[in-house]
């Protein structure tokens, strides 16, 4: 049997961390309690830390909650177990952390990304859902870890412990990036803009599940679509629908026309393209010309160029619909991600590493299965642009329900598998 390299008692610690994070779910840029506990744990292990404005560009964040929401949640974090020493660093939603391990021996700079945010979903509160049955369901209404980021954060902490415990076996520099606001593809851009991977030679991001069962590993996922998320507001003029309809400027009609126009954008011949209107809210009464309409839309493309095409067409449709009904339109980009292809050399190395792990019965080098969009692609493209290698790997995990589902849960044993393969990758790559 292949030699085991890590203490399996780590599994108990990671389960405890994961369940605490799941119970106290925090969505994008609100990961204040989470970040304070991550910082505290990393500091206890002996890592020097960079946080908040040191590793994020505030003006490059997208879809940031209002100041009122940030302040309200900060107070909640204070009252719900946040570490008081570290919490003030994250007060304004600057919740990113980078821990750096300098081994003191020459070697490359390796970076690993772990996302921390939950989703704006109401968790299922019923028997048969494991978090509910075991008492670690989310205490925050409409907030839930439904995409395994609680597991990813716990894996990052477990990985950090293994690295420290085995520092004398390693070379080079290892960076651990704990990122906010992956959901909605909102957080990575700000960390890349702050330069956190400018000196990185090898970058690896990972995800649990995504349709891959426990015991399997994918070394390189190339199925991510570039995307742009937009919030749109049409502003017209209210008027009495019976008495003075000609004085109104109907924002609802403009938005409705835009919906049809958006879904009518010609698709691109060079690859997959998507557009979707997920939300349309307008109007206040049956006898009032609607003065405002709010839309949430997204575009996607198999490549960044295809997404740019769909996005450009979408802006044209929105402006045209507004002009047709004599209303104003404003559009805010609240999330964005690129496309990125993993580096072949790194994929081959990870594939080889996973084959040496006792936790995997099947390893796959490449997958092009669509996995939605991921803002880890910002790091990947930045590292590759500087001559480095990058990949996005999948650690298989059996799921109770699909990602972003109110009954989502994952196989907690897969966290140990993830730490094992990441540690083996450091052993192989740090001395390259």
pLDDT tens digits, 106-143: 999 999 999 999 999 999 999 999 999 999 999 999 99
Residue 432: its pLDDT value, please?
53
**Pairing relationship of beta strands 362-367 and 173-179 according to DSSP bridges:** unpaired
CB-based contacts of 400: which residues, under 8 Å, 6+ apart? 129, 130, 407, 408, 409, 410
Give the list of residues 6+ apart from residue 281 with CB closer than 8 angstroms, or none: 293, 294, 295
As given in the structure block, the two tokens for residue 431 are 């001395």
| Helix, strand or coil, per DSSP, at residue 218 | strand
Q: What is the pLDDT of residue 284?
A: 92
CB atoms within 10 A of CB 16: 12
Q: How far is CA 351 from CA 209, 214, 218, 304, in A?
A: 17, 16, 8, 27
| Beta bridge pairs of residue 109 | 173
CB 242 within 8 A of CB 281: no
Q: What is the pLDDT of residue 372?
A: 82
Contact 220, 347 (CB under 8 A): yes
Cβ neighbours, 10 Å, residue 312: 12
End-to-end alpha-carbon separation of the chain, Å? 26
pLDDT of amino acid 7 = 80
The rounded distance, in Å, linking the Cα atoms of 75 and 58 is 21
Collect all residues with Cβ–Cβ distance below 8 Å to 20 and sequence separation of at least 6: 37, 81, 136
For the stretch 139-143, contacts whose Cβ atoms lie closer than 8 Å and that sit 24 or more positions apart, written own/partner, are 139/23, 139/24, 139/80, 140/24, 140/25, 140/26, 140/76, 143/25, 143/26, 143/27, 143/118, 143/119
C-alpha torsion sign, points 270, 224, 404, 298: negative
pLDDT score of 1: 43
Q: What is the pLDDT of residue 85?
A: 98
Q: Tell me the H-state helices in 134-179.
A: 149-165
Stretches where the chain sits below pLDDT 50 are: 1
Residue 242 CB neighbours (<10 A) = 8
125 DSSP 8-state letter: -
Q: What are the start-end ranges of the H helices in 264-332?
A: 304-325
Work out the mean pLDDT of the chain and round it to a whole number. Answer: 96
Please check whether residue 180 is in contact with residue 95, taking contact to mean a CB–CB distance below 8 angstroms: yes
Bridge pairing between strands 328-337 and 109-115: unpaired
Q: Please state, in angstroms and rounded to a whole number, the distance separating the CA atoms of residues 68 and 358.
A: 49
Q: What b/e sequence results for 269-307 when a residue is b if at least 16 CB atoms lie within 10 Å of its CB, and e otherwise?
A: eeeebbbebeebebbeeeeebbbbbebebbbbbbbbebb
Q: Which residue's entry shows tokens 């980078």?
A: 98
């Amino acid at each position: 049997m292949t030699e085991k390299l890590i203490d399996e008692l780590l599994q108990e610690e990671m389960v405890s961390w994961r369940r605490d994070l799941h119970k106290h779910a925090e969505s994008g840029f609100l990961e204040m309690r989470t970040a304070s506990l991550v910082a505290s744990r990393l500091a206890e292990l002996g890592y020097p830390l960079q946080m908040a404005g040191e590793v994020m560009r505030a003006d490059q964040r997208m879809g940031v909650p209002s100041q009122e929401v940030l302040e309200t949640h900060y107070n909640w974090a204070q009252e719900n177990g946040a570490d008081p020493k570290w919490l003030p660093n994250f007060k304004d939603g600057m919740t990113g952390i980078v821990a750096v391990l300098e081994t003191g021996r020459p070697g490359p700079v390796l970076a690993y990304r772990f996302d921390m945010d939950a989703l704006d979903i109401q968790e299922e509160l019923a028997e048969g859902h494991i978090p509910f049955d075991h008492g670690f369901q989310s205490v925050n209404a409409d907030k839930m870890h439904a995409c395994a980021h609680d597991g990813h954060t716990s894996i990052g902490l477990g990985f950090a412990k293994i690295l420290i415990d085995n520092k004398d076996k390693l070379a080079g520099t290892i960076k651990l990036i704990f990122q906010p606001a992956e959901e909605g593809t909102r957080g990575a851009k700000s960390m890349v803009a702050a330069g956190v991977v400018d000196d990185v030679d090898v970058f690896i991001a990972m995800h649990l599940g995504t349709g891959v069962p426990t015991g399997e590993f994918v070394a390189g996922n190339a199925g991510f679509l570039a995307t742009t998320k937009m919030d749109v507001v049409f502003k017209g003029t209210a008027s009495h629908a019976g008495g003075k309809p000609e004085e109104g400027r109907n924002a609802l009609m403009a938005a409705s026309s835009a919906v049809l126009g958006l879904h009518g954008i010609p698709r691109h011949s060079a690859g997959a393209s998507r557009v979707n209107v997920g939300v349309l809210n307008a109007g206040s009464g049956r006898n009032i010309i609607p003065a405002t309409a709010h839309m949430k839309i997204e575009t996607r493309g198999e490549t960044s160029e295809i997404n740019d095409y769909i996005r450009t067409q979408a802006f044209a449709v929105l402006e045209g619909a507004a002009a047709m009904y004599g209303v104003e339109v404003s559009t805010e980009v609240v999330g964005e991600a690129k496309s990125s292809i993993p580096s072949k050399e790194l994929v081959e190395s990870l594939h080889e590493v996973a084959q040496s792990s006792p936790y995997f019965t099947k390893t796959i080098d490449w997958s092009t299965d669509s996995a939605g969009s991921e803002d880890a692609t910002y790091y990947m493209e930045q590292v590759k642009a500087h001559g480095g290698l990058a990949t996005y790997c999948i650690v298989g995990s059996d799921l109770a329900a699909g990602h972003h589902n109110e009954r989502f849960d994952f196989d907690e044993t897969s966290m140990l598998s993830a730490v094992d393969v990441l540690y083996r990758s450091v052993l192989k790559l740090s001395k390259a």
